[in-house]
Chains A and B, each alone.
Chain A
Amino acid sequence: MTAGMKLTDVRVYYSSNEPVLDLPILEPEPGKITVIAGPTGSGKSTLGHAVAGLLPFMGARAVGTIHLGEHALPLDSVRKWRGICGKLVRWIPQEPARAFTATRPLLGQMLEGIEDDLKINEQLVTLLEVAGLPDPPELSRSYPFEFSGGMLQRAALVSAFLPDPMIVVADEPTAHLDPPRSLDLARTVTRLVRQASVTLLWITHDLRMASAVADHVVFLSEGRIEAEGEPGLLLDPSLYEPLSIVYASARLAQPL
């Protein structure tokens, strides 16, 4: 389902009175990949938690509203998020491999909490194929420990795209993968986004990965949007200051 999301006047606080995130407005383009880039501590993950409705569980104080299609969701309400979080919005943690328990077959865990069985079948087969994973009968016999970390990460991705989310938030999904597996995962995500017309927020400090996957980039610094636009802006000289993430990325990008 392609539908719009808009964040308005979002401010998130942890212990101090200085907001860790301060966004007057943010409107990711539906059906595209928006990369949220920035250094550690710039508020990237907090933004992901906000969009996924997880802030009340993280001990944060938040104001502002997230508009999802016809829903207006205040960040300080847990009640209004019921039925949204985990359905319209899916959030994938950094190490999805850890989200699976070893004692039950993978398929059941991927479909956990999804009620609409009939609808799932066809879509599931398509998504598994796009992600290069085994078919449902095999997944229903296999246990998580029989798969590599990369495959489990793709399995977590596929389950995030079921049944029909508007928004998927992926927080550093390639942080623990080696380069061949990262590239593989990035290809899978771009194919899934195209296939399912989902709005995807990809949170990362890896500017090389951001350049490869982004349709649109939001560059955060100290909780505020410092720059926003085409992926090429990541290499904009105005962001190239000593000790900046752009400078460091360039110095670590020598091999090819």
Chain B
Amino acid sequence: MSAPNVLQISDAAVRPAGPESPLVLQGFTLSVFAGEIVALVGPSGAGKTTALRAAAGLLTLEEGTVRAPKRLGYLPQHPLTAFDPRWSVLRSVTEPALLAGAIKGDALEKAKRMLESLRLSDMLWERRPAALSGGQLRRAAIARALAADPGLILADEPTAGLDPVATLQLVDLFHQLTESRDPGVLWVTHDLGVAAAVAERVIVLEGGRIVESATMEQLAAQPRSETARSLLESWLPLDVTRARSMLAD
């Protein structure tokens, strides 16, 4: 691939809970190219969030290296945790650009444009994060993650709790974003439907190791790992007869 890679994790091993604790990632190697969306899937406890935190430089590696751009956007699983509860939403969205060295007026302009492009009306800007609905808060967190033009976006289950319409809108938004600018995106999810809709490449994680890397078509047609098979087998289809027969199994 000719695009530069914006994230390169090589042979990483992590013990997130301290030196005596178990390894949660091992032999973990992954790259994300500019303009590419990679989905990281796996069951609960596979190490998906740990992988994101390692990519963000939030964890000390026991082995291996992480190369990531200085400017990266991190979308935590619970959008409320992206905000200072005392600050207005606008102030929180302005902060990343300020930290990246922009002057105040520019950072503020940028934050407003970003909030507008995410369809958050100016009536909401001066509110504190707790006064926004779940969906509004999710979009505000995305505005904050994008506000400093990151070269890499790390998104932890960004569609959890969103309804299908909002999920699809978020997927479309990320497609527009990777087309118009060029960030790489590492997108954690356990929903294969979302992975299929958003990503070109799917990486399957289990027990802290990558067990498979493929396009969604390859994965659906011929899963090579037990983990991928189990995720596919428990993925309910949008079909009453087939879904019910899966439940009866």
Residues of chain A at the chain B interface (Cβ within 8 Å):
39-40, 148-150, 172, 175-183, 186-187, 190, 205-209, 211-213, 231-232, 234-235, 243-245, 248-256
Contact = CB atoms under 8 A, between A and B. Distances in A.
Interface stretch (B2-10, B64-72, B103-111, B191-199): B191-199
Contacts of B243: 208, 211-212
B161 A175 contact: yes
A175 B159 CA distance: 11
A245 B247 CA distance: 23
B239 A255 contact: no
Q: Give chain B's interface residue range (CB within 8 Å of chain A).
A: 35 or more
Interface string B156-176: 000011111111100100000
**Which of B135, B216, B240 neighbours the largest number of chain A CB atoms within 10 Å of its CB?**
B240
Contacts of B197: 251-252, 254
Contact of A251 (B168, B220, B232): B168
A97 B174 CA distance: 31
27 contacts: A39-B163, A39-B165, A40-B134, A40-B165, A148-B44, A175-B161, A176-B160, A178-B44, A178-B231, A180-B230, A180-B231, A208-B193, A211-B236, A211-B238, A212-B247, A235-B239, A243-B165, A252-B164, A252-B168, A252-B194, A253-B193, A253-B238, A254-B197, A254-B216, A255-B216, A255-B219, A256-B235
Tell me the dominant secondary structure on chain B's binding face: helix
A149 B44 CA distance: 9
B234 A179 contact: yes
Given A213-B247, A252-B193, A254-B193, A40 B163 contact: yes
B237 interface: yes
